[in-house]
Amino acid sequence: DAGVIQSPRHEVTEMGQEVTLRCKPISGHNSLFWYRQTMMRGLELLIYFNNNVPIDDSGMPEDRFSAKMPNASFSTLKIQPSEPRDSAVYFCASSFKSGYTFGSGTRLTVV
């Protein structure tokens, strides 16, 4: 198994632009999580899905953030419009009952 696959690895965009982050979870894992990591705030849970259904999106900072999981093998996190304070590393993780498997993350820089 190739693990959790995230793309792109790095994204540099201008303020106001739309950004889409992508994640392919491990086959058979029924829970998917989106986290954001910064030095100031550490790891923050943004949203998570179970069986493709969003369960808790209370961590999504603003309406500018949205996430979808159209099927068991794909999820997106979209920021529109992006702002400099959105700069962070965004991780996707998947699990089945217990331990998470994390992707390598997307380092987002908004200038």
Partner 1 sequence: SQQGEEDPQALSIQEGENATMNCSYKTSINNLQWYRQNSGRGLVHLILIRSNEREKHSGRLRVTLDTSKKSSSLLITASRAADTASYFCATASAGGTSYGKLTFGQGTILTVHP
25 counts as binding partner 1 under rule CB under 8 A: no
5 counts as binding partner 1 under rule CB under 8 A: no
72 counts as binding partner 1 under rule CB under 8 A: no
For 22, the token pair is 């992508």
31 counts as binding partner 1 under rule CB under 8 A: yes
Per CB under 8 A, the segment of 12-20, 39-47, 61-69, 70-78 that binds partner 1 is 39-47
Distances (CA, A) of 4 to 18, 24, 94, 105: 23, 6, 7, 10
Catalog residues that contact partner 1 under the rule CB under 8 A.
Answer: 4, 31, 33, 35, 42-43, 45, 48, 50, 55-56, 91, 93, 95, 97-105
